[in-house]
Amino acid sequence: MKTFSGKVLFLDRSDINTDEIIPAKYLTEITKEALKPYLLEDLELPGFNPTKDISGKAAVITRANFGCGSSREHAPWALEVNDINVVIAENFARIFRQNMYNCGMMAIELDADIIDGLFKNYAGKDCSLEVNLDTRNITISTDGKQEVISFKIADFDECLVRAGGWVEYADKNY
Amino acid sequence: MGKTIAQKIFESHLVDKPFGDEVNVLRLDAVFCHEITTPIAINDLVARGKDRVFDPSKIKAVIDHVTPAKDSKTAEQGKILRDWARRNGIKDFFDIGRNGVCHAIFPEKGFVRPGYTVIMGDSHTCTHGAFGAFAAGVGSTDLEVGILKGVCTFKEPSTIKFVLNGTLKEGVYAKDLILFLIKELTVNGATNMVMEFTGPVIDAMTMESRMTLCNMAIEAGGTCGICYPDQVTVDYLWPFIQDDFATKEAALAEYSKWKSDADAEYAEVRTYDVSELEPMVTFGYKPDQVKPVREMQGTPVQQIYIGSCTNGRIEDLRIAAGILKGKKISDNVRGIVSPATPKIFSQALEEGIIKIFQDAGFCVTNPTCGACLGMSNGVLASGEACASTTNRNFNGRMGKGGTVHLMSPASAAAAAITGEITNSPLYKA
């Protein structure tokens, strides 16, 4: 199973699409590792600098419809090779969400008001989180402040995370 | 309680429900592949010692995104797909000279039938729902399992039904209609939903127009666009199915089972009279940022692009040529047209359409996806705008710093002549 804990990157916008996560011109790469320098290269977001802000992060917290657009699995791969294995959002585009779990990564959905609270209390600060799949809790903390948020995950998605991805699961079962 | 067409297709293809109603494992009738999202899946299968396919006759492959190869990396992607197709006995593999944009060439070859389940590592796979199939874009891992096992997982198919009444005005097309519907829904309005298109407006549409409509379901987040098969579907497919049925009537009777029941349950039913719909165009960087062309009139553009899986079919080229005939494009723009398949290219040649484009000052390219996603054959410079018949206006989509205005082929042809966003002369207000 992958690691789902570490420092958080906040991306305060809805509808961040897969072209912004990894531009099409890099889809000519045939290894995942080659995508590493280009994650979120085309994302224009006030205060966000991809060359400085991604390094050392292990999780993303964002708004609604993250990962819309192209089916490119290069989007989760670009996150994965940057050691970001979990994205938390109000909701996700279908293909992106499926791609995350198919890779044994996590796309966790939380209510809009909870996401809003996370942005208010933690964005812009040195913030870490830890996802516990057994208890289905996220512990988020910054200097002197900590809270535990429960989340839901479908049994099938949990199986994929524990199996390490869909290829492993499907090969065993079908 | 009755069932929707998507529910009927799911039921007939169900392999497993490993966690109750949470997820359906479906048997696949077709797995489509191209050279951008398939090579990593192929390499992974090879690395796992599982370099095989579930059924070579159900796998179709094409090199379409960057063709001819533009550099060593894209040449390598083509080679991986080509070598894999050969060693696995995939007969329906289309290389340069015989290749076209995947969502144009696969239907043109008769590979999609009513009631089919289809996946591809491409978000615009929803196009094929025009034939009354369940067709969905997936990532490379789903594609990999599809290639190996012939199955894929989907949640229960919740459906939004669109009842489209009235008659589209002259000069208003399926593209204008789908842009309008995306504006109504927003880019997240149909996420995890099937978009079922019904009503007199759909009944009157050609297969090409239905494909344009279903093609952009994903831009509202939709899993699949879907139309009921009818006489138009049978006529289109007839060259491929005439050995399977004694008559067209028999084919229609068989395909008619792929239709939603009158008492089917929908997440939502949206009814529109679209008789007053005008030509539509996008602004900004999301496909739900849509206005009437009238309100964007006069916005300058530097490039015109007519092509893609949305609007690169013969009907689209005929409409654009009808406007361009005897005219020259503005000195302030460059025009690019890419017929979506070799067959469409040949038809356009025979009908004199290619000459009209060339005389007007257009560059005619081979069939390819290239420009639509800024990979090749028409990348924008920073600060430039393109009047485009494609499907995405994302920031930097056709080139970093560029802007894309999505519109119909008629609107794109009109913009080519004036050098700015313009209502097409075919539009009768």
A76/B71 Cβ within 8 A: no
Cα–Cα dist B139/A71, whole Å: 5
Helices (H), B186-301: 200-203, 207-215, 231-241, 248-255, 293-296
Asked if B75 has any chain A CB less than 8 Å from its own CB, the reply is no
Find tokens 């009354």 and name the residue.
Answer: B132
Comparing CB atoms, the residue among A32, A94, A174 nearest residue B149 is A174
Q: Is the domain covering B158-273 a CATH 3.30.565.10 domain? A: no
Looking at domain B280-418, its CATH superfamily turns out to be Aconitase, domain 3 (3.30.499.10)
Q: How far off is chain B from A23, nearest CA to CA, in Å?
A: 8
Banded pLDDT at B21 (limits 50, 70, 90): confident
Chain segment B66-76, per-residue pLDDT in tens: 999 999 999 99
Residue A158 pLDDT > 90, yes or no? yes
A73/B188 Cβ within 8 A: no
A44/B48 Cβ within 8 A: no
Asked if B144 has any chain A CB less than 8 Å from its own CB, the reply is yes
A73/B40 Cβ within 8 A: yes
Q: Which domain holds residue A162?
A: 5-173
- Please name the helix (run of DSSP H) or strand (run of DSSP E) that holds residue B107, with its range, or none: helix B102-108
Q: Based on the number of CB atoms within 10 Å of its own CB, is A9 exposed (0-12), middle (13-18) or buried (19 or more)? A: buried
Q: How far off is chain A from B361, nearest CA to CA, in Å?
A: 28
Residue A11 pLDDT > 90, yes or no? yes
Residue B91 pLDDT > 90, yes or no? yes
Q: Are strands B268-273 and B158-165 parallel, antiparallel or unpaired?
A: parallel
> What SS3 class is residue B386?
strand
Write the ipTM: 0.96
Q: Using an 8 Å CB-CB cutoff, list chain A residues near B400.
A: 23, 42
Find tokens 């289309």 and name the residue.
Answer: B94
Q: Check residue B66 and give its pLDDT.
A: 97
Domain total of chain A: 1
Same CATH topology for B158-273 and B280-418?
no
Q: Check residue A30 and give its pLDDT.
A: 86
Phi and psi for A130 in degrees, rounded to 5? -140, 125
Cα–Cα dist B324/B291, whole Å: 24
From edge to edge, which strands make up the β-sheet containing B24-27? B14-16, B24-27, B151-154
Chain segment B348-385, per-residue pLDDT in tens: 999 999 999 999 999 999 999 999 999 999 999 999 99
Q: Using an 8 Å CB-CB cutoff, list chain A residues near B141.
A: 73, 99, 102-103, 165-167
B188/A15 Cβ within 8 A: yes
Cα–Cα dist B222/B187, whole Å: 9
Q: Using an 8 Å CB-CB cutoff, list chain A residues near B77.
A: 28, 30
Q: Using an 8 Å CB-CB cutoff, list chain B residues near A94.
A: 191-192, 221, 223
Chain segment A29-59, per-residue pLDDT in tens: 989 999 999 999 999 999 999 999 999 999 9
Residue A62 belongs to a domain with what CATH number? 3.20.19.10
> Where in chain B are the domains?
5-154, 158-273, 280-418
Cα–Cα dist B38/B40, whole Å: 6
Average pLDDT in chain B: 97
B5-154 adopts what CATH topology?
Answer: Aconitase; domain 3 (3.30.499)
Select the residue from A62, A73, A161 to test the B interface by mutation, using most B Cβ atoms within 10 A. A73
